[in-house]
Amino acid sequence: MIKVVFFDVGGTILDESREFGTWADWLGVPRHTFSAVFGAVIARGLDYRETFRTFRPDFDLPAELERRAAAGRPELFGEEDLYPDARACLTALKDQGLFVGLAGNQPARAEGILRDLDLSVDMIGTSDGWGVAKPAPAFFERVIREGGGDASSILYVGDRPDNDARPAMEAGMRACLIRRGPWGHILDMPAVSQRCLFRINVLDELPSLVAKHNAGG
């Protein structure tokens, strides 16, 4: 049975379109150009930060975040950036009596922002807060500990086959791959996606799939 469901953040419950748009503006690059380069970086299997280095070779993300904050243009997100199906999905899973958590590659300050959104979750973890980032095995070991210790009872939901689904399954968890956001549409890894317990297009599909699975359907 699935007793615990953890969600990735960016691209899964959080639409990062506005965030990446503000980065394009900060770098002085047309948003369309930034998006096109971003897609090419993903398609080539490179780290997403190579997008920024295409336009600024000496780009350093932590330093740039500090500069943005000092300039009064911090990287932020809010209610308007949640995918429309996110809140209802989290609530529906909680109503099934499941432990629900968020665990993604996010700066530590994102924990506070996510808590302020008052989502139906039992815990929130970030790579900065935990000191380890996906797809490192230690990240998913932490997910398992936070979820009670039984990897086989945990479902990890994410949009990336490389950073989310594959390492989650390698850690012994089940995986659900959602096809949205740039990675979900561009990065095709059939050998990974075919091993996932669920493959969905919207989070609205997930609560009924989990309920059916737990009922033995």
Residues 64 and 103: their CA atoms lie apart, in Å, by: 24
pLDDT at 107: 83
Q: What is the CATH code of the structural domain delimited by 4-15+79-214?
A: 3.40.50.1000
* Closest CA relative to residue 183, chosen from 4, 20, 6, 68: 20
How many residues are there in the chain? 217
Q: Are 189 and 162 in contact (CB under 8 A)?
A: yes
Domain ranges of the chain: 4-15+79-214, 17-70
| List of the chain residues with pLDDT < 50 | none
Report yes or no on whether pTM surpasses 0.85.
yes
The predicted structure's pLDDT at residue 76 = 83
Alpha-carbon gap, residue 64 to 209, rounded angstroms: 41
Give the pLDDT of residue 217: 67
Q: Given this model, what pLDDT does residue 6 score?
A: 98
Residue with tokens 């594959």: 166
pLDDT, position 170: 98
Instruction: Give the pLDDT score at 151.
Output: 98
